[in-house]
Structure formats: C-alpha cells, structure tokens
Amino acid sequence: MTDLPFFFDHEGDGRPHVDKYLMHKIKNLALSDCKELTDHGISEISRRCSSLESINLTGCTKLTDAGVTALTVDVQTGATRGQFLKELDLTFCIKVTDAGIANLMKRCQRNLQTLHLSGCIEISDECIQMLSKECGGLQNVSFGHMRLLTDAGLKALADNLWLEEINVSHCLGITDKGMVYVANESPGLRILSLAYCRKLTDVTVHALADNCKLLRRIDLSNCDALSDGAVARLEALAHDTVVIRGKAQRDKDASWAGGGSQPLELANG
C-alpha cells in the first residue's frame, strides 16, 4: 500500500462532506510493513485522523524524522496534532533518529503510554534519557536492537518512569549494573525481554526475583551466563510466571505477547 488511499479523490468523488470527514473518527490504525508508505502519507493521516490514539508503523522503512514530526504538528501551519496519541510503534523504522523523537517528546509528554523503538538503531542513549524525563506517562517501552543503549539509559528510565513492560533484547551495551537498577526501581514490572543480552548474570536475575514480584513473563533466551538455580527463582514468583529460555521454549510459547497481539520478538524486534 502507498500513500494514495489516504488522500481524498477530488476528481473521482468531489463530495465536500466526504472530504471534510474522511477518516476523522479513526482512533486506532495499524499499517505495519507498508513499506511504500512515506512521510507524505503519514502527514495526511495525522491531519485527517484528529482523534488518533494508537498507530502501528512497524517496518515502514521509508518513514523519516519528518513523518514522526508530522504526527504531532502540522509542518506547514504549526498547528498541533496527535494530542490524543497514547501508543506509537516505530519498530524497525530505521531512518528515524534523535531529531524525530525529540520533536515527538516535545508535544506528547505525559499522554504517550506505549512506545516501541526496537530496531531504530540511530537513536542514542542521550535521546532515551531525555525521553524518560519528557514523557513521564510512558509505561511500556521496547528498545530492542538499540546498539547505543547503555546502563545510563536504563537508569534514566527507572528513575523517571513507572515501568510495566520493557523490551531491551539484543541490546549488547547493557550490563547487570543497569538491570539491577531497573529491578530496584520498578516494582510494577510485569513483562520483560532480555533475550541475547549476553553480559547479564545471575546478579540481574536475583535482583528481579527480590524486587519485581509482579513479573509474569520474561524472555531470557540466549542469556548464556545464567544458572538454572537463579532462573528457578523467577519461575517460583507465581504459578503463572512464564520464563522463556532457548529456542524450543520460545517456539512453545509463541503466543506470548509483549504489549500487543504478536509474540514479543516478532512485535517488537
């Protein structure tokens, strides 16, 4: 799908009433893997969907900072847009950088509750730190595959946010230091993905078991340094706690979601 369906056909239709109200009642919009969608189309969607609360742009690889900015402001008139936006998924929108997220955080602030940026490899640790301060309403975040994320970014998240769902899978820069801080400051944590975070040890697992009593789903796939005994402590938190370790278990629990209807690694990178 391209930008075309989101623009009113003046020549083929021409009805002013249709033009005025086209898409204006839409609150939730999923456009994942629409790889031909561009900033131009996103700008028109934002203009027409004035009540938009949730938009999924996973894999829209032509989206740039201009498109992200257009979600919250009319770039021509400066008029405010996206004031009702609560959930935004930019997973693997690989052209998005700090500049686009900076414009987003200026306007969304406490309204935004869920943000998926997994695979946005150009976003820096400093941007995540600022995001945690400006968007205090965030509870569910996905930062998988973010090569620039470090313990400093995790500390800022834990300091400033009430976190319930976190995905930092494949973030090779995080260590026990950052995750212990998250565990100590996030008693409301329910869902966590640490898959392929190979620097983590039992220290992290014990901190989670001691402090995150509400934790019910955690992906520890390919965290090679963890012992069976430490992981057993997490499994003992509650009868319905799901701990994923290794490919076989991950396939078995393919219905496990990380903030959406898809498996965590599929939904959030």
pLDDT value of residue 237: 94
SS3 of the chain: helix, strand, coil, percent, to 5: 35, 10, 50
Q: Which two tokens stand for residue 88?
A: 């935004």
Residue appearing with tokens 């929108």: 93
Alpha-carbon distance of 222 to 264, in angstroms, equals 15
pLDDT value of residue 256: 39
Taking the chain (269 residues) in runs of 10, the rounded mean pLDDT of each run is 86 74 90 96 91 96 96 85 93 97 88 96 96 95 96 97 98 97 97 97 97 97 95 94 72 41 40
Alpha-carbon distance of 171 to 154, in angstroms, equals 11
Output DSSP code: residue 113: -
For the chain, list the domains and their CATH numbers: 4-268 (3.80.10.10)
Alpha-carbon distance of 263 to 254, in angstroms, equals 6
Q: Which two tokens stand for residue 141?
A: 């975040």
Q: SS3 for 244?
A: strand
Q: Which two tokens stand for residue 103?
A: 């414009």
Amino acid at the residue 16: P
Q: Which two tokens stand for residue 105?
A: 């955080």
- Supply the pTM of this predicted model: 0.87
Asked if 181 contacts 152 with a C-beta cutoff of 8 angstroms, the reply is no
Amino acid at the residue 266: L
Amino acid at the residue 145: H
Handedness of CA 48, 54, 56, 60 (dihedral sign): positive
Asked if 269 contacts 144 with a C-beta cutoff of 8 angstroms, the reply is yes
Amino acid at the residue 64: T
pLDDT value of residue 12: 73
Alpha-carbon distance of 252 to 10, in angstroms, equals 51
pLDDT value of residue 247: 53
